[in-house]
Protein backbone atom coordinates (compact mmCIF):
# COMPACT_ATOMS: atom_id res chain seq x y z
CA UNK A 1 0.00 0.00 0.00
CA UNK A 2 1.47 3.35 -1.04
CA UNK A 3 1.52 6.50 1.08
CA UNK A 4 -1.05 8.09 -1.24
CA UNK A 5 -3.41 5.13 -0.79
CA UNK A 6 -2.95 5.27 2.99
CA UNK A 7 -3.84 8.96 3.06
CA UNK A 8 -6.77 8.42 0.70
CA UNK A 9 -8.17 5.72 2.97
CA UNK A 10 -7.48 7.62 6.17
CA UNK A 11 -9.31 10.84 5.24
CA UNK A 12 -12.91 9.53 4.82
CA UNK A 13 -12.75 7.47 8.01
CA UNK A 14 -11.33 10.44 9.89
CA UNK A 15 -14.19 12.61 8.59
CA UNK A 16 -16.83 10.09 9.65
CA UNK A 17 -15.36 9.90 13.17
CA UNK A 18 -15.23 13.72 13.34
CA UNK A 19 -18.84 13.93 12.14
CA UNK A 20 -20.07 11.56 14.83
CA UNK A 21 -18.09 13.19 17.61
CA UNK A 22 -19.58 16.57 16.62
CA UNK A 23 -23.10 15.17 16.20
CA UNK A 24 -23.10 14.10 19.84
CA UNK A 25 -22.91 17.74 20.97
CA UNK A 26 -25.14 19.50 18.45
CA UNK A 27 -28.75 19.01 17.29
CA UNK A 28 -28.77 21.01 14.04
CA UNK A 29 -27.29 19.03 11.14
CA UNK A 30 -25.92 22.11 9.36
CA UNK A 31 -24.08 23.08 12.50
CA UNK A 32 -22.83 19.48 12.83
CA UNK A 33 -21.44 19.55 9.27
CA UNK A 34 -19.62 22.85 9.82
CA UNK A 35 -18.26 21.74 13.20
CA UNK A 36 -17.13 18.37 11.86
CA UNK A 37 -15.35 19.95 8.88
CA UNK A 38 -13.49 22.27 11.27
CA UNK A 39 -12.59 19.36 13.56
CA UNK A 40 -11.55 17.27 10.53
CA UNK A 41 -9.20 20.03 9.34
CA UNK A 42 -7.64 20.48 12.80
CA UNK A 43 -7.31 16.73 13.33
CA UNK A 44 -5.72 16.12 9.91
CA UNK A 45 -3.29 19.02 10.33
CA UNK A 46 -2.32 17.82 13.82
CA UNK A 47 -1.73 14.26 12.64
CA UNK A 48 0.30 15.43 9.62
CA UNK A 49 2.38 17.74 11.83
CA UNK A 50 3.04 15.02 14.43
CA UNK A 51 3.96 12.52 11.69
CA UNK A 52 6.33 15.04 10.10
CA UNK A 53 8.04 15.73 13.44
CA UNK A 54 8.35 11.99 14.17
CA UNK A 55 9.70 11.36 10.67
CA UNK A 56 12.34 14.10 11.02
CA UNK A 57 13.27 12.93 14.53
CA UNK A 58 13.69 9.32 13.35
CA UNK A 59 15.72 10.46 10.36
CA UNK A 60 18.00 12.48 12.64
CA UNK A 61 18.35 9.60 15.11
CA UNK A 62 19.13 7.07 12.39
CA UNK A 63 21.55 9.35 10.55
CA UNK A 64 24.50 8.49 12.86
Where do contacts with other proteins occur on this chain (CB under 8 A)?
A: 1, 9, 12-13, 16-17, 19-21, 23-24, 29
Give the burial class of 37: count Cβ atoms within 10 A of its Cβ; 0-12 exposed, 13-18 middle, 19 or more buried. Answer: middle
Least Å distance, CB 33 to other proteins, is 9
Angle at 15 between CA 12 and CA 16, to 5 degrees: 90
- Nearer to other proteins (CB atom), residue 8 or residue 56: 8
Distance separating alpha carbons of residues 15 and 54, to the nearest angstrom: 23
- Nearer to other proteins (CB atom), residue 2 or residue 60: 2
- Nearer to other proteins (CB atom), residue 30 or residue 64: 30
Amino acid sequence: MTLFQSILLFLPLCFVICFFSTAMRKRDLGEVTRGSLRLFAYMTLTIVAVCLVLHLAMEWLLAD
